[in-house]
Amino acid sequence: MHSTFYRGRKGRIMRGTRVKFRSGIFMILLAVMLSVAAALAAPSKTYAAATIKTTKPAKVQNGFVYEGGATYYYVDGKMVKGWRTIGSDRYYFSKTDGKMIKYWLKLDDARYYFAANGKLVKDKMLYDSKKRVYRYITHTGRLKRGWQTLGNGHKRFFSTSVNNLSKDGIMAQGFVKAGSATYYFQSKTGYQLTGWITRKSDGARFYLDPANSGALVVSTTKTIDGVTYVFDKKGVSTIQLSPAGTVTRMPGSAKTVRNYLLNGLQACGRVLYIWGGGWTQSTVKGVPSSWTNWYNSQPGTYNYNNYRDLTTANRVKGLDCSGFVGWTTYQTMQSTSGATSYTVVSGSVGGSYANRGFGTIITQSQLRADGYKLYPGDIGYDAGHVWMIVGQCKDKSCVVLHSIPQAGVQLSGTPTPAGNYDSQAVQLCNRYMSIYPGFTRFPYETSCGNYVTRSNYFRWYRSTLADPEGFMTKNANQVLSSLFS
Q: What would you report as the CA-atom Rg of the chain, rounded to the nearest whole angstrom?
A: 52
Residue whose C-alpha is closest to residue 436's, from 216, 205, 246: 246
Q: Could you give the 3-state DSSP secondary structure of residue 194?
A: coil
Going 474 to 477 to 478 to 480, the CA torsion angle's sign is positive
Question: Poorest-confidence range of 42-51, 204-213, 284-293?
Answer: 42-51
Which residues are CB-contacts of 466 (< 8 A; sequence separation ≥ 6)?
254, 255, 256, 257
For 213-220, what is the mean pLDDT?
94
pLDDT, one tens digit per residue, over 395-433 is 999 999 999 999 999 999 999 999 999 999 999 999 889
Which residues are CB-contacts of 350 (< 8 A; sequence separation ≥ 6)?
361, 379, 381, 456, 457, 458
> What stretches of 275-316 show up as alpha helix (H) in DSSP?
289-297, 312-315
pLDDT, one tens digit per residue, over 358-382 is 999 999 999 999 999 999 999 999 9
State the Cα–Cα distance between residues 37 and 97, nearest whole angstrom: 72
First to last CA, the chain: 168
> How does the average pLDDT of the chain come out, rounded?
88
* pLDDT greater than 90 at residue 50: no
Q: Could you give the 3-state DSSP secondary structure of residue 478?
A: helix
Neighbours of 62 (CB within 10 A): 12
The pLDDT, as a whole number, for residue 199 is 85
HSE, side-chain direction, 13 A CA sphere, residue 81? 7
Cα 457-462-464 angle, rounded to 5 deg: 85
Which residues are CB-contacts of 482 (< 8 A; sequence separation ≥ 6)?
258, 469, 471, 474
State the Cα–Cα distance between residues 310 and 280, nearest whole angstrom: 11
Which residues are CB-contacts of 49 (< 8 A; sequence separation ≥ 6)?
none
User: What residues pair up with 457 in beta bridges, in sequence order?
Assistant: 362, 380
Q: What are phi and psi of 445, to 5 degrees?
A: -110, 100
pLDDT, one tens digit per residue, over 277-292 is 999 999 999 999 999 9
For 96-112, what is the mean pLDDT?
92
Strand pairing class (110-114; 103-107): antiparallel
The pLDDT, as a whole number, for residue 368 is 96
Percent of all residues in the chain with a pLDDT value above 70, rounded to a whole number: 85
If 0-12 CB within 10 Å is exposed, 13-18 middle and 19+ buried, where does residue 452 land?
buried
The pLDDT, as a whole number, for residue 485 is 62
Cα 395-473-469 angle, rounded to 5 deg: 135
* pLDDT greater than 90 at residue 48: no
State the Cα–Cα distance between residues 242 and 269, nearest whole angstrom: 12
- Kindly report the pTM of this predicted structure: 0.55
pLDDT, one tens digit per residue, over 225-259 is 767 788 889 998 876 655 445 554 678 999 999 99
The pLDDT, as a whole number, for residue 181 is 93
